[in-house]
Amino acid sequence: MKVLVIGANGQIGSHLVKKLSDSNQHTPIAMVREDSQKETFESEGVESVKADLEDSIETLAEVFQGVDAVVFAAGSGGHTGADKTMLIDLDGAIKSMEAAKKKDVKRYIMVSALGAHKWHKDPDALKSKGYYRAAKFYADDWLEKSGLELDYTIVRPGRLLNDAGTGQVTISENLEHDTIPREDVASVIVSALNNTNTIGKSFDVLSGSTYIDEAVKQV
């Protein structure tokens, strides 16, 4: 399966590209914004494409040609404000969904945020960077409403760590706030690609005591 990784230069994205490259089932295509990033991936033998989530849907769709699956692992980053968050995490995500539809790419995996689906029910979410939760909530909502056109999975990880992955997680519809290494999030995404039972599903994921493939198969 040829998997377009949007946000390949990010911390989850870079782990994901490596895991897809090391697998015998998938071939990653790294979508990046800068020529230097493209050159770095290509020097490592990874096919890459240059595109910007602030471009039009039609322009974005050009890099979706021949792709079997899309993973949206992009984000504006914690150093940006509400404007960039809305342009990347919300509008950019939606444009990528529409671009996938234009090129008949069915499989789509979204990296969201723990508890994003409860944004309207969680007063604490409004106290700090409510715009980030709003962006994630509405991007996920748009994806879920595309269910007849996109075979989606929404992965909602907790607070992200740079620790080495443990290979063990807890997956559920609703989990309390806790942490998970970025490497384990990437492994969950690969497992979701390998397991069709995750299609049409959304879930929280944290570090836990169940091996990733086993946990994903129980979704």
CA distances from 163 to 159, 169, 214, 215 (A): 12, 14, 22, 20
* Dist. CA 59–CA 54, nearest whole Å: 10
Q: With CA atoms as reference, report the closest residue to 196 among 106, 135, 114.
A: 106
List of E strands, the chain: 2-6, 27-32, 47-50, 69-72, 107-111, 151-157, 159-161, 168-172, 179-181, 201-207, 210-211
Catalytic residue among 108, 131, 132, 211: 132
3-state secondary structure of 103: coil
* Dist. CA 168–CA 150, nearest whole Å: 28
Which helix (H) or strand (E) segment is 187 a member of?
A: helix 182-194
Q: Is 211 in the active site?
A: no
Pair of tokens at residue 49: 């494409």
* Dist. CA 125–CA 119, nearest whole Å: 6
Q: With CA atoms as reference, report the closest residue to 143 among 155, 134, 133, 152.
A: 152
Catalytic residues, which ones?
A: 132
